């Protein structure tokens, strides 16, 4: 893995959908870099600090959300002289997103007063009154033809279906929720999943014409659904709950065919591979210290304070090696056996938004694996094998897991914990990769669309890592 140098950033960073560019927010400026040379290809000046960046699907346009002003500015990479500015006036702007056709921008006003569709082709705009949420509650079909927008009126939740061609409302139907949390189309566009707020465990499957296909409720008392995710193949629907369980529904009967528990103590029988992050001290072997010929010719250099320049270099090198030996460790994975106890944090009962339940969840590209993180055990990442309905691996980190992402082209998982290391897992094993940049702690990561590059973020900088394709059959080492 090869790392680039660090570049400044003060906000969001993201790859373009075609993987050719990286958009970076640096205060009031939007910097567009080439992903191969990392040279600046475009530089746009905004009117305020950039809070949000989103590329259009065709990678030709990009929008910047200046939510503090509030305002939206959009730019074109092929026509640098073209600009667009959207200002809702007193209504404000809470969130903005692109439509699938890359020629319309959808904005949600403050306090969810209205959702507006702005056209870049003409001055026309369409309003949808009373959107349910600011950044959530909107989902597009995979073919980009329709949009489902959640609204609320008369203390009841509704789903409005809009044509993305004319932006006319094709239909609307009410849904059986107390406080709708979010909505998402299935990958084959045949169904819509809707789930209620955590106060009511309810997962509803609707057809596009408004028929309720299924209603799922795992239990009645206690906090309910925390996360929902379709598998890429569309055959499975994963539901993560506050009771620390992952439930998987099938698309034929909409019944659960798998339930996975996240226990603080993992006992046998268990066929899963358990990888635990450990520190291994580095020991200096003086017999392996090799000095070049120029170091051995110390008397030929000019002396300063009685020591030649070459002798001073030798001293610095030895001091550096001794420092590395005494104060540095090699981070690696240690394969452990069951039983194993995972660090568990009991959430306080008197505070809202308890840190428990399945808060992080995502499917692999082939829909065979799904990873989860139980927020009560933030240092453990669970990887489940859906094909065999069993636990495939657990990665136990020293620090809480900040982000994780599947390679979009193969079964490879990458995660970060806010340390200087990057952690990888494949069905062949796991490894730790050290970032050579000094004082660069990885707090977030993103793949580009072809899986060849990773974008790694620090607090005020970012870098990229070129990733080579790892054959699935190869053995994956468990150290650096």
Domain with residue 8: its CATH number is: 2.40.10.480
Residue where a domain stops, chosen among 45, 61, 87: 87
Residue where a domain stops, chosen among 87, 106, 138: 87
Residue-number span of the structural domain to which 366 is assigned: 274-282+328-480
Can you tell me the distance from the alpha carbon of 89 to that of 330, in angstroms, rounded to the nearest whole number?
55
Q: Is a pLDDT exceeding 80 seen at residue 185?
A: yes
Q: Which residue has the higher pLDDT, 316 or 197?
A: 197
Residue 243 lies in a domain: no
Dihedral sign from CA coordinates of 313, 317, 320, 326: negative
The strand order across the sheet containing 125-129 reads: 95-98, 104-108, 114-119, 125-129
Q: Does residue 80 share a domain with residue 22? A: yes
pLDDT in tens, 65-82: 999 999 999 999 999 899
Question: Please, which pLDDT band fits residue 164 given cuts at 50, 70 and 90?
Answer: very high
Residue 82 lies in a domain: yes
> Mean per-residue pLDDT for 324-342?
78
> Mean per-residue pLDDT for 459-467?
95
Q: Does residue 435 share a domain with residue 315? A: no
Question: Please, which pLDDT band fits residue 307 given cuts at 50, 70 and 90?
Answer: very low
> Mean per-residue pLDDT for 106-122?
95
Question: Please, which pLDDT band fits residue 204 given cuts at 50, 70 and 90?
Answer: very high
In the numeric block, the tokens 């610095």 are attached to 316
Q: Is a pLDDT exceeding 90 seen at residue 297?
A: no
Find the length of the chain: 480
pLDDT in tens, 175-184: 999 999 999 9
Residue 50 lies in a domain: yes
Q: Does residue 418 share a domain with residue 300? A: no
CA 95-100-106 angle, to 5 degrees, is: 25
Q: Among 15-19, 265-269, 315-319, 346-350, name the most confident range.
A: 15-19
Residue where a domain stops, chosen among 49, 69, 87: 87
In the numeric block, the tokens 């040279």 are attached to 39
pTM, 2 dp: 0.87
Show the tokens assigned to 48.
Answer: 């305020």
Say how many domains are in the chain. Answer: 3
> Mean per-residue pLDDT for 139-166?
96
> Mean per-residue pLDDT for 388-405?
96
Q: Does residue 8 share a domain with residue 62? A: yes
Q: Does residue 480 share a domain with residue 340? A: yes
Residue 119 lies in a domain: no
Q: Does residue 289 share a domain with residue 302? A: yes
> Mean per-residue pLDDT for 312-340?
61
Q: Is a pLDDT exceeding 80 seen at residue 20?
A: yes
Short-list 385, 397, 464, CA closest to 430 = 397
Residue 311 lies in a domain: yes
Q: Does residue 452 share a domain with residue 337? A: yes
Q: What is the CATH number of the domain that holds 420?
A: 2.40.128
Q: Does residue 339 share a domain with residue 301? A: no
Alpha-carbon distance values, 279 to 262, 276, 285, 368, 421 (Å): 26, 10, 19, 32, 12
For 168, counting Cβ atoms within 10 Å of its Cβ (0-12 exposed, 13-18 middle, 19+ buried), the class is exposed
> Mean per-residue pLDDT for 152-161?
96
> Mean per-residue pLDDT for 267-285?
83
């Amino acid at each position: 893995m090869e790392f680039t140098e660090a570049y400044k950033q003060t906000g969001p960073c993201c790859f373009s959908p075609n993987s050719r560019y990286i958009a970076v927010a640096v205060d009031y400026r939007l910097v567009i870099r080439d992903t191969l040379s990392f040279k600046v290809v475009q530089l746009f000046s905004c009117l305020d600090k950039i809070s949000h960046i989103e590329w259009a699907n065709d990678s030709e346009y990009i929008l910047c959300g200046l939510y503090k002003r509030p305002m939206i500015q959009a730019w074109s990479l092929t026509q640098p002289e073209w600009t667009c500015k959207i200002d809702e006036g007193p209504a404000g702007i809470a969130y903005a997103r692109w439509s699938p056709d890359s020629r319309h921008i959808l904005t949600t006003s403050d306090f969810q007063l209205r959702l507006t569709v702005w056209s870049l082709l003409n001055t026309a705009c369409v309003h949808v009154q009373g959107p349910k949420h600011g950044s959530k509650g909107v989902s597009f079909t995979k073919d980009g033809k329709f949009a489902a927008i959640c609204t609320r009126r008369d203390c009841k939740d509704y789903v409005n279906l809009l044509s993305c061609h004319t932006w006319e409302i094709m239909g609307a139907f009410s849904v059986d929720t107390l406080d709708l949390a979010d909505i998402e189309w299935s990958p084959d566009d045949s169904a819509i999943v809707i789930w209620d707020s955590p106060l009511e465990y309810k997962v509803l499957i609707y057809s596009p014409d408004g028929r309720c296909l299924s209603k799922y409720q795992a239990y009645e008392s206690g906090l309910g659904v925390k996360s929902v995710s379709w598998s890429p193949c569309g055959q499975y629907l994963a539901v993560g709950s506050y009771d620390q369980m992952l439930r998987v529904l099938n698309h034929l009967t909409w019944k659960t065919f798998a339930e996975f528990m996240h226990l603080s103590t993992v006992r046998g029988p268990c066929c899963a591979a358990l990888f635990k992050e450990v520190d291994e001290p580095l020991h200096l072997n003086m017999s392996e210290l090799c000095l070049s010929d120029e170091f051995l010719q110390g008397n030929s250099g000019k002396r300063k304070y009685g020591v030649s320049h070459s002798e001073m270099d030798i001293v610095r090198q030895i001091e550096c090696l001794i420092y590395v030996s005494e104060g540095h460790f090699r981070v690696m994975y240690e394969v452990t056996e069951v039983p194993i106890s995972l660090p568990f944090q009991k959430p306080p009962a008197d505070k809202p938004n308890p840190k428990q339940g399945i808060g992080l969840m995502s499917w692999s590209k082939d829909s065979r694996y799904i990873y989860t993180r139980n927020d009560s055990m933030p240092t453990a990442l669970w990887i489940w094998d859906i094909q065999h309905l069993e636990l495939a691996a657990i990665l136990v980190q020293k620090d809480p897991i900040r982000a994780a992402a599947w390679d979009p082209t193969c079964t490879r998982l990458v995660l970060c914990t806010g340390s200087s290391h990057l952690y990888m897992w494949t069905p062949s094993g796991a490894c730790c990769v050290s970032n050579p940049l000094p004082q660069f702690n990885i707090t977030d990561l993103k793949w580009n669309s072809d899986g060849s590059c990773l974008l790694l973020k620090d607090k005020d900088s970012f870098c990229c890592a070129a990733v080579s394709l790892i054959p699935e059959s190869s053995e994956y080492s468990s150290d650096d």
